[in-house]
Amino acid sequence: MRRPPYYVAAVDVIKLSTDPPLTYLSCYCLQTRHACWVAIGSMEAMELVSAVRRAQLREGGFNYVIADGAVLTKAFVSEVRRELGSATLPIDARAPWCSGVETHHRFALKVGRVLLSRRFRGVRNWSLMAKQDLADELIWHLNHRPLGRADVSSDGTLLILTPDHLRYGYLREGKDCSGAVFDSSQLGSRREYFVKTFLSLDRFQVWRCGPDLWTQVQGMSRLALWLGTREAEFPAI
């Protein structure tokens, strides 16, 4: 696969709560629907850049960062290019839903309310570590959610595809789920197969993330854009 996960990532700020103040930078992979969150204390450009940097160290990628005008300030654009070597692209204000982040946030707010009322109900000291613990557990659940697409494995088992399958090639194992163990040499091909299966099951229209990106990929499918079945002429980094 020519383009790895998080090659193009949409970033946005989301507030789970105002009391206690729980604000995060959400980073969403447009290819795999996988997400990671970083706890932040403010929306200052340098703090947002630092959060993107932490996400990049965790997930890799971030060759292109897509965001709305609230995030893409001049200072943010300049520092992201200098610190991360990433190019930035604006989301079309007329179609803010096009990146998929708004749908991701709707799910996240529902899961967040449940976690705050149960699992994290007794937390009194919301340190940065406690805030990140909440984010990590919330994102764990979202990255294990079914994507509404399925595949049949070689032994006839119905496999429900999740963001983890598209990101890693398997479902990560944890307290509430168990995943099969695979030879590491197989994971790249498995992940590519899952992504292609997922995308082929849903005929996407041409991706519209704003005029700059639109002019570069006009007439290309989302599959061609992210998997590189045809070369997309991205803006120079």
Residue 122: exposed, middle, or buried by beta-carbon count in 10 A (0-12, 13-18, 19+)? exposed
Q: Which of 128, 145, 162 is the endpoint of a domain?
A: 145
Question: Which residue type does 200 have?
Answer: S
51 or 195, greater pLDDT: 51
> Are 169 and 86 in a shared domain?
no
> Are 31 and 126 in a shared domain?
yes
> Are 91 and 176 in a shared domain?
no
Q: Is residue 230 part of a domain?
A: no
pLDDT in tens, 11-27: 999 999 888 899 999 99
Q: Which of 113, 145, 177 is the endpoint of a domain?
A: 145
> Are 71 and 97 in a shared domain?
yes
Q: Is residue 223 part of a domain?
A: no
Q: Is residue 194 part of a domain?
A: yes
Least confident of 55-64, 85-94, 182-191, 200-209: 200-209
Cα–Cα distance, 96 to 208 (Å, whole number): 10
Q: Quick check: 186 pLDDT over 80?
A: no
> Are 137 and 154 in a shared domain?
no
pLDDT-derived band at 168 (thresholds 50, 70, 90) equals confident
- Average pLDDT in the 124-149 region? 89
Per-residue model confidence (pLDDT) at position 209:
45
Q: What is the DSSP code string of 169-229?
A: SSPPPBTTB------HHHHHHHHHHHHHHHHHTS-PPPP-S-HHHHHHHTT--HHHHHH-S
> Are 90 and 175 in a shared domain?
no
Q: Quick check: 199 pLDDT over 60?
A: no
> Are 140 and 170 in a shared domain?
no
Q: Is residue 38 part of a domain?
A: yes
Cα–Cα distance, 21 to 26 (Å, whole number): 16
The total number of structural domains that make up the chain: 2
> Are 31 and 69 in a shared domain?
yes
Q: Quick check: 174 pLDDT over 50?
A: yes
Residues 49/83, Cβ–Cβ less than 8 Å: yes
Q: Is residue 217 part of a domain?
A: no
- Average pLDDT in the 94-115 region? 83
Residues 68/90, Cβ–Cβ less than 8 Å: yes
Q: Look over the chain and give the mean of its residue pLDDT values, rounded to a whole number.
A: 76
Q: Is residue 13 part of a domain?
A: yes
- Average pLDDT in the 99-106 region? 83
> Are 166 and 120 in a shared domain?
no
Q: Is residue 2 part of a domain?
A: no
> Are 184 and 133 in a shared domain?
no
> Are 24 and 135 in a shared domain?
yes
pLDDT in tens, 148-164: 656 666 665 666 788 88
Q: Quick check: 196 pLDDT over 80?
A: no
| pLDDT over 90 percentage in the chain | 40
Q: Hey, what are 69's tokens?
A: 């005008």
Q: Is residue 233 part of a domain?
A: no
pLDDT in tens, 215-234: 444 433 443 444 443 334 44
Cα–Cα distance, 59 to 55 (Å, whole number): 6
Residue 82: exposed, middle, or buried by beta-carbon count in 10 A (0-12, 13-18, 19+)? exposed
189 or 62, greater pLDDT: 62
> Are 20 and 109 in a shared domain?
yes
Domain of residue 155, residue span: 150-200
Task: Kindly report the CATH number assigned to the domain that includes residue 44.
Answer: 3.30.420.10
